[in-house]
Structure formats: structure tokens, C-alpha cells
Chain A
Amino acid sequence: QKEVEQNSGPLSVPEGAIASLNCTYSDRGSQSFFWYRQYSGKSPELIMSIYSNGDKEDGRFTAQLNKASQYVSLLIRDSQPSDSATYLCAVNRDDKIIFGKGTRLHILP
């Protein structure tokens, strides 16, 4: 079983709509969860962290965590063309981050 699973996409969303990105993880003991954005040829950029069940909002981004279901999601409201990138779900385990393969998001102008 893969440690962090994401749909690879591409996920195409019209500009101004809500983009919904999902992730599941296998280690029930994981405590810290992150979303990184990675533009092609660039390094991962931290956009959200979440540590407890529920929602966490930061500007246009909302992270959601459900530890019972081992599920993390990221909502991007009012999607912009600049949001087009690969979004990496990541889980902190034993002092290292385990990344998913990422979901490619394409915002349609």
C-alpha cells in the first residue's frame, strides 16, 4: 500500500471555480500534514499545514483533515491561472516528509 496517494490528474477547473484536491495516507500514526505547490522545474513551495481534524483556512486555500478516514484535502477558491501547478500532499513521519506523486491542476482561462 502506497504511503501517500493522490490522483495524478490532470484536474481541469474553470477560472473562478473551486478546485478540490484529495489525498489519502496509510500511516495512522501520522500527525502533521502539508500541501506543497510545485511549478514545473521548480522546488516544492509550502502553502498549507494542518495538524488537527477539521478545516484550516488561509486566504483562498482551505485544508481539511479527517484522521479517522486518513484523508486530507485542499480546496482552492476563486481559482486563478497562476494556480496551475502540481500539488503535493505530504505527511510527516519520523522526522521526514513522505510525499505523494502530486495532482496536476490546470486552471482554464
Chain B
Amino acid sequence: EPEVTQTPSHQVTQMGQEVILRCVPISNHLYFYWYRQILGQKVEFLVSFYNNEISEKSEIFDDQFSVERPDGSNFTLKIRSTKLEDSAMYFCASSQAEDEQYFGPGTRLTVT
């Protein structure tokens, strides 16, 4: 069964450093998303991406965040200058249409 994959599973970085989180969505899916979940809190939407552009973003997704689909398979989330409060699980998701979204296993980001 096809699935969303994410790398790395755990990333530790120092405050102020740039990080890139990588995702490979399900191959025939057209819509891509990033969510985050701070420990003990709910899953929060960050951004949706379709047809090579951002279609929706939340207030969390400020100028420090960017997304890219550099080739036909990868979808990346970049945080330019990490803060302590960026520590969270980051989930990539994909969907065939604007409906059921399937989540990857997540990347745990720890900012020290």
C-alpha cells in the first residue's frame, strides 16, 4: 500500500539554524500539506500546496517558513532561523483531491 514517507525521523538543531524537512508524498496525489503538533497539543495546519504553489497557509506559517517541490517526488519544508518554540512533530500529508489526507510518520524537530 502506498504511503507518505518523511526524513529525517528526528532532527536536532541549534536555535537560529536553518532546517529542511523532507517528504515524499503518495505518487498519484496532487495536494500536499504540512502540519505540526507540539507535544501534548493538537495537530495544527501549516500550509497546503497544489499545482506548484501555496493554496492556503496559517498564521503560524510566517516568513521563516517556506515550502518547495524541487522535483517530481519530494516536498520540503524549510525553517530559515529556528526558534525554541519550533520544537514539535512535523507531519507531511497528501491527498488525491481536496478530501482524505494521508499522513507521513512525522519528523521530530528539537531546537536547543
**A34 close to B100 (CB less than 8 A):** yes
Closest-CB distance, B103 to chain A (whole angstroms): 4
CB contact under 8 A between A96 and B43, given known A42-B105, A43-B104, A49-B99: no
**B105 close to A43 (CB less than 8 A):** yes
Shortest Cβ distance from A4 into B: residue: B42
Shortest Cβ distance from A96 into B: residue: B45
The yes or no answer to B96 lying at the interface (CB within 8 A) is no
Q: Give chain B's interface residues, CB within 8 Å of chain A.
A: 31, 33, 35, 41-45, 48, 50, 55-56, 58, 89, 91, 93, 98-106
Q: Would you mind naming 9 contact pairs between A and B with Cβ atoms under 8 Å apart? A: A36-B103, A43-B105, A44-B43, A45-B103, A46-B103, A95-B50, A97-B45, A100-B42, A101-B41
Q: Is the interface of B mostly helix, strand, loop or mixed?
A: strand
Kindly list the 3 A-B residue pairs having the minimum CB-CB distance in the complex, ordered from nearest.
Answer: A96-B45, A99-B43, A43-B103
Closest-CB distance, A26 to chain B (whole angstroms): 15
**A102 close to B42 (CB less than 8 A):** yes
**A43 close to B91 (CB less than 8 A):** yes
**A46 close to B99 (CB less than 8 A):** no
Size class of A's contact patch? 20 to 34
Complex CA gap A96/B98 in Å reads 8
Closest-CB distance, B52 to chain A (whole angstroms): 15
CB contact under 8 A between A92 and B99, given known A43-B91, A43-B105: yes
Closest-CB distance, B90 to chain A (whole angstroms): 10
Complex CA gap A98/B98 in Å reads 13
Complex CA gap A44/B90 in Å reads 12
By a CB distance below 8 angstroms, the chain A residues around B45 are 96-98
By a CB distance below 8 angstroms, the chain A residues around B101 are 34, 46, 97
